[in-house]
Amino acid sequence: QVQLVESGGGLVQPGGSLRLSCAASGNDFSITTMGWYRQAPGKQRELVAVITRRGIINYSDSVKGRFTISRDSAKNTVYLQMNSLKPEDTAVYYCHAQSPYTYWGQGTQVTVSS
């Protein structure tokens, strides 16, 4: 089992920045990929960015050039630096971890509004 604890969400003006963190704890030592998904009201959950244990990264086209994902494997923590935020980035952001099992965090709200 793995627990994912997210932090760093909040309210920010358009053009602003936020940094999300997700710390994994537990006894599943076979996690390969970690990353972030988001879900806006009335929409399906979508991929934002993921990073493998080897550092291979995949971004959604909508966030390329604005968001940066990074991972500290020693701390089992994944980060999402979000710059140049837009109102359409408003959503609940969920941390995700993949081993043979799939784990989700509880979600953290990001609201981009003036």
Q: What's the pLDDT at 73? A: 84
Contact (Cβ atoms closer than 8 angstroms) between residue 96 and residue 50: yes
Convert the pLDDT of each residue in 58-89 to its tens digit.
999 999 999 999 999 888 899 999 999 999 99
The per-residue pLDDT for 75 is: 87
Phi then psi for 106, rounded to 5 degrees? -80, -15
Q: Which residues of the chain have pLDDT under 50?
A: none
Give the pLDDT of residue 64: 97
pLDDT of 99 reads 86
C-alpha span between 8 and 90 (Å, rounded): 14
pLDDT computed for residue 52 by the predictor: 93
DSSP 8-state class, residue 31: -
pLDDT score at 102: 93
What backbone phi and psi angles, to 5 degrees, belong to 73? -65, -30
pLDDT value for 76: 87
* pLDDT on residue 29: 74
